[in-house]
Structure 1
Amino acid sequence: MRPDPAGPLFHEPGARWRTVAIGPLVCVVALVVELLTGPVVHWAALPIIAIVLAGFSYVMVVAARRHVSVELTSTVLRQGTEELPVAEIEAVLPPPSDDRRDPERWETARSLGELADVPRGRKPVGLRLIGGTFVRAWAKDADELRARLGELVGDPGQTATS
């Protein structure tokens, strides 16, 4: 993906690097508590545990940033590693209503990205592509993504039928 000179219109990183520091910080707190309260201080175990926790967290953050990040520029919507040109989007569909029984057609469509479904903690945004194909974009802040896509594509789903 070529960087857009105007910058991203919408961006979710997938995970934050500060998550890697949580495990080591807990180990530092445990070390301080042991120094203040007890005769036994685990000088060898706590640093090893801190490194292991940081290592696992690092792997999870890298995976989330690669597979669960979202970026929208004026030309491309990137969901994980999949890129969809904005020019291929015909309509941004409105969110599903709560008072219906059957799902909208877009709610069972393929999810963008290389994951099998909308990632946990994210909400779907229905898109109709040129040619009539439905797909599901996704984001934590789905309403904001829907609004930004609507600005690029046109009226966000007001005239689109699913």
Structure 2
Amino acid sequence: MSDPAANVLFSEPGARYRTIAYGPVLCGIVLGLEVIRGGQAHWFGLIFCGLLLAGFVWLQVIAGKRHISVELTPDTLREGTETLPLRSIAEVLPEIDEESWDDEDWESARALGELTGVPRRRKGIGLKLRDGGLVQAWARDHHTLRAELTAAVAALDGSGTPVAEAETAEGDEEKEAR
């Protein structure tokens, strides 16, 4: 059986679990300094604050993993909770011209996912759909996503099957005709 992670062309996790430990570690350092310094150590307060910080950050990490993660496979683009089949993408639109005064049409298009717009610290990528609509994909590393997405869309022909598979199928049909 093939490994699903092997088919991932691009991935951004949205948030990392290690950030949960930052608050408790900082509270532990403060507690350690209080013990070393010799005076009253605020055991309850620092442990409580560390657990409280860990709890709030845990909620943010869960939300980040669910809503701002990105994954591109040869067949689909998942942006947060929305999955878009690559066969429905007609074209990956060019980057914004920073010197131009005019806005591109796709800059005001709906962002993929269930968020109201492109998440902070991420950059939009214009996509033209086969039905004529415009949407925005987004990623922190938007240059890599744009390159991988452009290559993946180019690898698909109009029927939504990878070009290599389509050529193999055509070759099989020719062999059967002989």
Same fold (TM over 0.5): yes
The equivalent of 1:77 in structure 2 is 77
**AA matched with 2:45:** A
CA distance, structure 2, for counterparts of residue 111 and residue 99 of structure 1: 24
CA distance, structure 2, for counterparts of residue 6 and residue 59 of structure 1: 29
The equivalent of 2:140 in structure 1 is 140
2:160 is equivalent to residue 131 of structure 1: no
**AA matched with 2:72:** L
- Give the number of aligned pairs: 153
Name the SS of the counterpart of 2:7 in structure 1: coil
* TM-score normalised by L of structure 1: 0.91
Greater helix share, 1 or 2? 2
CA distance, structure 2, for counterparts of residue 4 and residue 133 of structure 1: 30
Q: Identify if the C-alpha distance between structure 1 residues 127 and 40 changes in structure 2 by more than 3 Å, giving closer, same or farther.
A: same
The equivalent of 1:118 in structure 2 is 118
- Per-residue displacement from partner, 1:27-79 (whole Å, max 9, x unpaired)? 11101111122411001111111110000000000000000000000101000
The equivalent of 2:152 in structure 1 is 152
The equivalent of 1:160 in structure 2 is none
The equivalent of 1:55 in structure 2 is 55
What is the identity percentage for the equivalent residue pairs of Structure 1 and Structure 2?
Answer: 48
Name the SS of the counterpart of 1:63 in structure 2: helix
CA distance, structure 2, for counterparts of residue 73 and residue 121 of structure 1: 23
CA RMSD of superposed structures (Å): 1.4
CA distance, structure 2, for counterparts of residue 5 and residue 100 of structure 1: 40
CA contact (8 A) 1:4 1:73 kept: no
Structure 1 gaps of 5+ residues are 156-162
Who wins on radius of gyration, i.e. which is larger? 2
CA distance, structure 2, for counterparts of residue 134 and residue 152 of structure 1: 18
* TM-score normalised by L of structure 2: 0.83
CA distance, structure 2, for counterparts of residue 57 and residue 30 of structure 1: 19
CA distance, structure 2, for counterparts of residue 153 and residue 71 of structure 1: 15
Kindly indicate whether structure 1 or structure 2 has the higher relative contact order, using CA contacts under 8 Å at least 6 residues apart: 1
Name the SS of the counterpart of 1:116 in structure 2: coil
